[in-house]
Amino acid sequence: MSSAEHSVYIKNGKVVNDDEEFMADVLIENGIIKFVGAAADIKVPEGVRTIDAAGQLVMPGGIDPHTHMELPCMDTVTIDDFYGGTRAAVAGGTTMIIDFALPDKYESMLVAYDKWRSRADPKVCCDYGLHMGITWWSEQVSAELGVLCKERGVNSFKSYMAYKGVYQLNDTELLDSFERIRSLHALAMVHAENGDIIAKNEKRLLAQGITGPEGHELSRQEEVEAEAVHRACILAHQVDCPLYVVHVMSKSAGIEIARARQRYQGKYIIGETLAAGLGTDGTHYHCNHFAHAAGHVMSPPLRPDTTTPEFLMKLLANNDLSLTGSDNCTYTTKQKELGLGNFTKIPNGINGVEDRLSVVWEKGVHSGLIDPCRFVSITSTTAAKIFNIYPQKGRIAVGSDADIVVWDPEATRTISKHTHHHACDFNIFEGMVVHGVPKYVLVRGRICVDNGTLNVEKGYGRFVPTPVRSAFIYDRIETSTSQ
Ligand code: URQ
Ligand code: ZN
């Protein structure tokens, strides 16, 4: 189907943006929103497909700012590739992902970027952008950051404070990379866990005979995450660089983000949490079935404190945390078995790209902690603003891409590995009943979920460049600096 045919009329629905809700019809032509308003004010062209959204919400499609499709990692490769992974995303109402291109240590960033583009471009079913990992630091890396920002459409770079000996940067390297990122008006991101402490704890636990998945969380408890979050915020602020902390997974780390945001008057620091952290917890690491416990292994880990998910949702509700991702990084049970007898070898990662919207709706809106506008903000619009693609993405408005989910807020479904669209044979949300079901999902006007039936097109998605100097981030910093 050509994009000229992506013309759709959505009538009788309630439009929800991050700052307003109102009854309106929406007309889409050639993949772009052409009209939002009252039926009386629009003449719908002949032959346009009409969707009746009575009783439903018409919202910007989800933007998942954190995925790892077909990532080579820990002696294997994540099982959701860019086709299956984006197909699962669309099935759940997500219409754009931002994946992490990770160079090997000493590999050129530009070579890694080309690899990711060549893997993703032919396969993606929805639009996508790229962050890049900084897995080592040198003059060459510094120069390549400039090329990536100016010529390749990448504005965000993640460093690791964990994975000692593999990806971990020391404080000097973090400071140098943050300084360079600041000079480019880009955005620094960190995986915040203290890798030195983790390496020591892993050795100790293995020597004590603790070899199962429970050792994973024991080696990297809350304060190990909180220390790194605290340090990262200060390092970034010292060189005036905005910082996005990925996957905030614990109460202590969330509190560090809240404190840093208060200290810097809401500037500089952005915290992301995950569907995983909102929808389940770390008690599963103590299950006797290896496949079940290992299926939950991710970093930072889920926390055994069962009040953590609600605490994180409350931080999202009051804007101490800014948005949600999935960190979709899936492996089969067979792959997880690489860590049988040694928890440090269990491939790290879980599902989430498909279920993120439903889990956030269930735990946030259905439970009464947030309203639908905040839901749109933390699942879509804030990501679009941070990564500087707003209002092309993340808004129902004239001129925006028609990335839309028609959401039935009262319908329910039961999440299961038997019905999900991932390539893995495990789902961390198994058995959870969620309210909120995507009835229709449109990617640039193409109906990819049609009254509940999934129908994607391999390669339909496009790479979306993310330009530097996001006003959402830099207006606040530069206004205050110049005062
Ligand atoms: O840590 C990561 O970013 C990847 C490599 C693994 N996923 C995860 O457990 N968060
Ligand atoms: Zn990740």
> What does the mean pLDDT of the chain come to?
97
> Has residue 483 got a pLDDT over 60?
no
**d(CA 327, ligand 1 centre) in Å:** 7
Which H or E element spans position 477? helix 471-482
Prediction pTM value: 0.98
Confidence class of residue 482 from pLDDT cuts 50, 70 and 90?
very low
**d(CA 67, ligand 1 centre) in Å:** 9
Closest residue to atom 1 of ligand 1, CA basis: 299
**d(CA 247, ligand 1 centre) in Å:** 9
Sheet containing 32-37: order of strands:
32-37, 25-29, 8-11, 49-52
Which H or E element spans position 412? strand 404-414
**d(CA 390, ligand 1 centre) in Å:** 27
pLDDT in tens, 132-143: 999 999 999 999
Sheet containing 14-16: order of strands:
21-23, 14-16, 57-60, 404-414, 433-443, 446-450, 453-454
State the closest ligand 1 atom to the C-alpha of 68, by its place in the atom list counted from 1: 4
Confidence class of residue 3 from pLDDT cuts 50, 70 and 90?
very low
pLDDT in tens, 87-118: 999 999 999 999 999 999 999 999 999 999 99
Q: Which of 333, 182, 322 is nearest to 258 (CA)?
A: 322
State the closest ligand 1 atom to the C-alpha of 348, by its place in the atom list counted from 1: 9
Q: What is the pLDDT of residue 480?
A: 58
Averaged pLDDT, 225-241: 98
Confidence class of residue 211 from pLDDT cuts 50, 70 and 90?
very high
pLDDT in tens, 156-200: 999 999 999 999 999 999 999 999 999 999 999 999 999 999 999
Answer whether 180 contacts ligand 1 (Cβ < 6 A).
no
Matching residue, tokens 């009040």: 307
Matching residue, tokens 């998945």: 213
Confidence class of residue 4 from pLDDT cuts 50, 70 and 90?
very low
Q: Which ligand is nearest to the CA of 297?
A: 1
pLDDT in tens, 263-292: 999 999 999 999 999 999 999 999 999 999
Q: Which ligand is nearest to the CA of 300?
A: 1
Could you write out the DSSP letters of every residue in 56-97?
A: -EEEEPEEEEEE-TT-EETTEE-S--HHHHHHHHHHTTEEEE
Confidence class of residue 6 from pLDDT cuts 50, 70 and 90?
confident
Closest residue to atom 10 of ligand 1, CA basis: 299
Averaged pLDDT, 313-333: 98
Q: What is the pLDDT of residue 205?
A: 98
Averaged pLDDT, 365-378: 98
State the closest ligand 1 atom to the C-alpha of 329, by its place in the atom list counted from 1: 7
**d(CA 309, ligand 1 centre) in Å:** 19
Phi and psi torsions of 272, nearest 5°: -110, 140
Answer whether 301 contacts ligand 1 (Cβ < 6 A).
no
Beta carbons within 8 Å of 183's beta carbon, 6+ residues apart: none
Rounded to 5°, angle at Cα 435 from 430 and 437 = 90
